[in-house]
Structure 1
Amino acid sequence: MRVRYLKCGTDCPLGGPLFDGFSKSLFGLIPCAAQLVETNEGLVLIDTGYGSEDVRHPHPRLSRFFRTLLNIHFRAEETALHQIKAMGYSPSDVRHVVLTHLDFDHAGGLDDFPNARVHVMEAEREAAERKRRGFIAERRYRPAQWEQVRDWRTYAGSGECWFGLERVRQLDGLPPEILMVPLPGHTWGHAGIAIRSDDGWVLNAGDAYFYRRELDGDRRRCTPGLRLYQNLMEVDRELRFANQQRLRELKRERSGEVTIFCSHDEIELEAMQRRNGDTSTTRAMPPIGQGVATGLSGA
């Protein structure tokens, strides 16, 4: 399988390096990362970022609160739909969309792929559709983004062990090299997505963390802006911190077998693009560990 790493939207919050850790201007650079997986059964999209309808009609699809807080820059050329077409594919070639969670910046492109089967944790769909109460919940979950979805596949908490992470499971109709890894805390049904490619496992940790230094074992840290944002968005701090610690241990103990990246770190995204052979990125890249394939059940 080939995995491509896409930027499907850009947030530019006021604060610059207080958010991303490197900007020289007043505004930060926070990407919405997604993956496109080419399989024998068609394309699989991991998260969608912002979609074409978000670009055309940001209001009322997205809340004024988050549009202002994040200073979202809507660009049609950054949508997954535009990028997939530019690769020579049709939207109908996307057979599956796998979501880390249903936040507005991860699920905005669902209606760009109306024929796709959408995979998400059962707890996440429940929270988004039936427990959408409170200031943050009403604004993070935007039903207009997924009201056209007709083919849902949801998953409860059962599963197997994968590199010490529990309740990991395969997905209906997808190759066994794509796994859903529950990592709740940011939302009730938040999950990471693990993919085994030719050079090993890659774990898309979604919003389990936001900043690359959060997984450092010795002097882990996060920028002030992203720390505040994570606190604002979390539903269970104890769960979130516990899962960050599990990811920290995974990185320390299995760095030669599993590469981890998150949804909103520009440096990590560029590193994954460079690792994938995209020479268009120019920023200096941090080292990326190489992987060795393995599977479920006690790996």
Structure 2
Amino acid sequence: MSVFDPFHPEVGTKVEIPYFFYLVQHPDGNVLFDTGGHPSLVSDPRARLGDAADAFEVTMQEGDDVVSQLARAGFSPDDVDHIVLSHLHYDHAGGIEFFPHAEFYAQRRELEFAHWPPVYQREIYVRADFDHPVAWNELDGEFDLFGDGRVVIFPTPGHTAGHQSLLVHLDGERAMVLVADAAYLPRNIELNVLPGIVWSPDAMVASWERIRALKRRYNAQLVFTHDLAWPETTRVAPEAWYE
């Protein structure tokens, strides 16, 4: 719990952390936001992550990987046209190699940061995840993916130097912000509580201000990748989805 919130009343408690990724269906193409962990984490996480596997007690089950999860919802890697990476930590970028024909989107600063990370984040960037001959679109700020305001990438640095989140306008007037690791829990944003893995506290708080502004402007729902309360807050395909 100390990673999520060093000041939480249950700071000494071990928690099971979920890892989500999201598929957005748009008339002009399917968008995958993050790709989860590499399937090799099922059998031998230490071989992939080294000491980080022990520090985070990484566990992954057969079928948890992005290709298997997409298949459960009726999709294959060839059905994915665009992949937006919130950042390149191992639990978000592990499935890149399975989408060789997709267009990839990351902030230019994140690609730089991932290849030359500071020592305090070095173990959670795995070059084998993102060193692949895929088509990278290196972004410098906000990017409207289809030019219609429906799927908008926007920078939310703080957790890492080039972290980004995704604003999605669904049919009707519903809007959602896929927060990723701009914050782990609603509590971080609501109470300005910094988590344990931070590149820049000032940048993170500024990103929270932007997310709060989007939430107010569009009455948007915030969806968190590592939400500990996910059974009550998050719809999981193929049984449930957002529309």
Whether these two folds match at TM > 0.5 is yes
TM-score class normalised by the smaller sequence: 0.7 to 0.9
Give the CA RMSD over aligned residues: 3.3
Once the two structures are superposed, the pairs formed by residues 21-40 of structure 1 within 5 Å of their partners are 27-40=14-27
Amino acid at match of 2:35: T
The TM-score with structure 2 as length reference comes to 0.84
1:48 matched to 2:35? The reply is yes
Structure 2 residue ranges without an equivalent (≥5) = none
The answer as to whether partners of 1:33 and 1:269 remain within 8 angstroms in 2 is: no
Shift of 1:87: 2.4
**Structure 1 residues 21, 117: closer, same or farther in 2, change over 3 A?**
farther
Q: Which residue is 2:98 aligned to?
A: 112
Higher relative contact order (CA 8 A, sep 6+): 2
Q: What is the deviation of 1:268? A: 4.7
How many residues end up aligned between the 2 structures? 240
In 1, Cα distance between equivalents of 2:43 and 2:144: 35
Aligned to 1:161: none
Relative to structure 1, is the Cα distance of residues 96 and 14 closer, same or farther in structure 2, using a 3 angstrom cutoff?
same
Alpha-carbon separation, structure 2, partners of 1:258 and 1:193: 12
Choose which of 252, 257, 262 in structure 1 pairs with 2:224: 262
**2:179 matched to 1:205?**
yes
> What letter matches 2:121 in structure 1?
A
1:240 equivalent among 204, 209, 213: 204
How far, CA to CA, are the matches of 1:139 and 1:47 in structure 2? 19
Q: How does 1:159-238 map to 2 (within 5 A)?
A: 168-171=142-145, 176-199=149-172, 200-216=174-190, 220=191, 230-231=195-196, 233-238=197-202
Give the equivalent residue in structure 1 for 2:117.
Answer: 132
Matched residue SS, 2:229: helix
Deviation, 1:48, is: 1.1
Partner residue in 1 for 2:50:
63
- Partner Cα separation in structure 2 for residue 21 and residue 108 of structure 1: 32
Larger CA Rg, structure 1 vs 2: 1
Structure 1 residue matching 2:68: 3-state secondary structure? helix
In the aligned structure 1, how far is the partner of 2:147 from the partner of 2:183?
A: 26
Unpaired runs of at least 5, structure 1: 1-12, 158-167, 280-289, 292-299
So what's the TM-score if we normalise by structure 1? 0.69
Conserved? CA contact 2:24–2:31, under 8 Å: yes
Cα distance change of structure 1 residues 269 and 115 upon mapping to structure 2, 3 Å threshold: farther
CA contact (8 A) 2:105 2:137 kept: yes
Identity of aligned residues (%): 26
**Secondary structure of 1:194's match?**
strand
Deviation at 1:179, TM superposition (A): 0.8
Q: Normalized per residue, which structure has more strand?
A: 1
Deviation per CA, 1:240-262, whole angstroms, max 9, x where unpaired?
122223333444x34x6211122
